[in-house]
Copies of this chain bind each other. A is one copy, B any other.
Amino acid sequence: MNNIRNEFGQNLEEFLIDYKQNQLMRYPKPSVTVDTLIFTVKEKLSANYRKLPKKQLYVLLIKRKDHPCINEWALPGGFINLDENLDESALRELKEETNLDELYIEQLYTFGDKDRDPRTRIVSVSYMALIPQNYQGELFAGDDAMDADWFKVDFKLKDQSQSLTEDNENVIIQTYELKLTNECSNAEELVANIKIVNRIKHQNLVREIEIISQNAIAFDHSKIICYGLERLKNKVEYTDIIFSLMPKTFTLSELQQVYELLLDEKLYAAHFRRKIEPKLIRLTDQTTGGKGHRPAQRYVYNPLWQLQKNLGGE
């Protein structure tokens, strides 16, 4: 089998020796990096003792210590090693740069536009990670970073208009503002203006994300953040990914709040309970007291439900 010869009379072994010697000449190689988008949810206490704390979405960024984009904020990530799989690279870089560990990660998208990095052609495989609200791990900046911090995420639609392109094509152009606020240190605020062009290409809706302007956000990382936000929102609707953002136990109201945060719409409590309670979660014997109102039951997620649902075949 391995002794089949190609048109130059080489068998596999000979071919590989030849290939490895001359590979630099054969094809120019880009660099490959992994970048990880890490989301979490944090609570903001209200002045009113009775009110529930408000939930907010956060993303983790690190401050770059070197060119290019020196002093700007970027997603944690870096070059892959040749002896590790892509997800292993993502986890390693995460550990190195932020000390985060034991996360749920999933591949998001691969960004490889030819001019996305001034150094050389760099293809970036992006990952999305979610960590629970009350995560207690130590966060510190690693070697390549001056700083690592959580930024509050606000992604707002500013404008939307339908128009015709020169090719008589119907497009909807949306303008978003992505605002990232670092409340911890010196209240740094990063803003990116994003244009999303929605067009029909070969009968399919295509959303092209474009950075109009940004300040202190490295590379095309604000684009990756937008992409991740959209994916997160979508996955909340058809998977149980949301529980990766929840603490071990939680009340139904807390869960509903996170749903509302991610879906950006109000849900009806009664219907929400009927839908979630009997399947996805299990009652614990804990309750949340100390608030100025009726204490709530705490629940845990029942991950086995997913195995049954998707596979058990009813």
Contacts and interface: CB of A to CB of B under 8 A. Distances in A.
A249 interface: no
A44 interface: no
Contact of A20 (B107, B119, B202, B243): B119
A284 interface: no
Contacts of A160: 311, 313
Interface of A: 4, 6-7, 10-12, 15-16, 19-20, 23, 27-32, 65-68, 70-71, 79-86, 102-104, 106-107, 109-110, 112-114, 118-121, 123, 125, 160, 162, 170-172, 174, 198, 200-205, 238-241, 243-244, 301, 303-304, 306-307, 310-311, 313
Contacts of A10: 67
Contacts of A31: 23, 27, 29
A206 to B, nearest CB: 8
Contact of A16 (B106, B110, B118, B125): B118
A215 to B, nearest CB: 11
Contact of A200 (B71, B203, B307): B307
A201 to B, nearest CB: 7
A307 B102 contact: no
Contacts of A171: 307
Nearest to A200: B303
A67 B310 contact: no
Contacts of A204: 104, 106, 239-241, 243-244, 303, 306
Contacts of A6: 65-67, 70
A79 B27 contact: yes
Contacts of A84: 114
Given A119-B19, A307-B170, A310-B205, A110 B82 contact: no
Contact of A85 (B112, B198, B201): B112
Contacts of A113: 85-86
A203 B242 CA distance: 10
19 contacts: A6-B65, A12-B67, A12-B68, A12-B118, A16-B118, A20-B119, A23-B31, A30-B80, A32-B112, A84-B114, A85-B114, A103-B202, A104-B203, A107-B109, A112-B125, A172-B307, A204-B240, A205-B240, A238-B238
Given A80-B123, A205-B240, 10 more contacts: A15-B68, A16-B119, A110-B125, A170-B304, A198-B310, A200-B303, A200-B304, A204-B244, A205-B303, A205-B310
A7 B65 contact: yes
